[in-house]
Amino acid sequence: MGIDVAGSTFGIHTDTTSYVFAVTDQGLLRHLHWGGRIDLSDVIAEPLWELSTNDLIQDVTPQEYPCHGRFRYNEHCLAIKFADGGRELDLRYAGHDLAADLVVHLHDEKGVRVDLHYEVLEGIDAIRRWAVVHAEVPVRIEAVASAQFHIPFRDLELRNVAGRWGAEFQEVVQPVSSKVVLESRRGVSNHHHNPFAVLSRQATETSGRVWGMALAFSGNTKTVVEQTQYGQTLVQLGINDADLAISLAAGDSFTTPAVVATYTPDGFDPLSQTFHDYGRSLLNPAPRPVLYNSWEATNFAVTCDGQIALAHRAAQIGAELFVVDDGWFGRRNPEPNGGITDGLGDWWVDPVKFPDGLKPLIDVVHELGMSFGIWVEPEMVNPRSDLYAAHPDWIYREPGRDPDPARGQYVLNLAVPAVQEFVTTMLDGLLSDNDIAYVKWDANRPMSQVGAARDVWYRHIEALYTIVREVKRRHPGVLFEACASGGGRIDFGALSVFDDVWTSDNTDALDRLDIHRGYSLVYPPQAMRAWVTDVPNFLSQRSIGLAFRFHSAMTGSLGIGCNLTTMSDVDLRAAATFVQQYKQLRPLMHRWHRLENPSSNDYRLFQYSSPAGAVLFAFLPASRLGHTSTTVRLRGLEPTARYRFELDWQTHVARGDYLMQRGVRVWLQGDYASTIIRFDRVED
Residues with a known catalytic role: 442, 505
Residue type, 619: F
Residue span 32-51 as binding mask against ligand GLA, x where in contact by CB under 6 A, dash where not = --------------------
Mind giving me the DSSP string for 122-186? Answer: TTSS-EEEEEEEEESS-EEEEEEEEEEEEES-SS-EEEEEE--TTS--EEEEEE-SSEEEEE--S
508 contributes a contact to ligand GLA by CB under 6 A: no
Task: Report in angstroms how near the CB of residue 15 gets to ligand GLA at its nearest.
Answer: 39
For residue 271, what are the contacts with CB-CB under 8 A and spacing of at least 6? 198, 210, 212, 262, 264
Mind giving me the DSSP string for 265-312? Answer: SB-HHHHHHHHHHHHHHHS--SPPPPEEE-HHHHTT---HHHHHHHHH
* Cβ nearer to ligand GLA, comparing 440 with 604: 440
Task: Work out the end-to-end distance of the chain between its first and last CA atoms, rounded to an integer number of angstroms.
Answer: 33
Task: Report in angstroms how near the CB of residue 407 gets to ligand GLA at its nearest.
Answer: 8
Alpha carbons 598 and 600: distance in angstroms, whole number: 7
295 contributes a contact to ligand GLA by CB under 6 A: yes
Alpha carbons 78 and 131: distance in angstroms, whole number: 10
Residue span 400-439 as binding mask against ligand GLA, x where in contact by CB under 6 A, dash where not = ----------------------------------------
Task: Please choose, out of 8-16, 36-44, 482-490, 539-547, the segment that lies near ligand GLA by the rule CB under 6 A.
Answer: 482-490
483 contributes a contact to ligand GLA by CB under 6 A: yes
Q: Give CA 525 to chain center in angstroms.
A: 11
Task: Report in angstroms how near the CB of residue 531 gets to ligand GLA at its nearest.
Answer: 9
Task: Please choose, out of 39-47, 231-239, 478-486, 491-499, the segment that lies near ligand GLA by the rule CB under 6 A.
Answer: 478-486
Q: Which of 9, 5, 13 is closest to 23 using CA atoms?
A: 9
- H or E element in which residue 442 lies: none
Alpha carbons 566 and 76: distance in angstroms, whole number: 58
* Cβ nearer to ligand GLA, comparing 106 with 344: 344
Task: Report in angstroms how near the CB of residue 456 gets to ligand GLA at its nearest.
Answer: 23
* Cβ nearer to ligand GLA, comparing 158 with 387: 387
**Interacting residue with ligand GLA among 125, 168, 325, 511 (CB under 6 A):** 325
Task: Please choose, out of 18-26, 235-243, 483-491, 534-542, the segment that lies near ligand GLA by the rule CB under 6 A.
Answer: 483-491
Q: What is the helix, strand, coil percentage profile of the chain, to 5?
A: 20, 35, 45
486 contributes a contact to ligand GLA by CB under 6 A: yes
By Cβ distance, which residue is nearest to ligand GLA?
326
* Cβ nearer to ligand GLA, comparing 293 with 674: 293
342 contributes a contact to ligand GLA by CB under 6 A: no
**Interacting residue with ligand GLA among 241, 346, 350, 505 (CB under 6 A):** 505
Half-sphere exposure of 257 (CA within 13 A, CB side): 29
**Interacting residue with ligand GLA among 59, 75, 379, 442 (CB under 6 A):** 442
500 contributes a contact to ligand GLA by CB under 6 A: no
Alpha carbons 129 and 146: distance in angstroms, whole number: 7
**Interacting residue with ligand GLA among 194, 485, 555, 674 (CB under 6 A):** 485
Alpha carbons 162 and 684: distance in angstroms, whole number: 46
Alpha carbons 537 and 295: distance in angstroms, whole number: 13
Task: Report in angstroms how near the CB of residue 296 gets to ligand GLA at its nearest.
Answer: 8
- Which residue ranges make up the site for ligand GLA (CB under 6 A)? 295, 325-326, 375, 442, 444, 483, 485-486, 502, 505
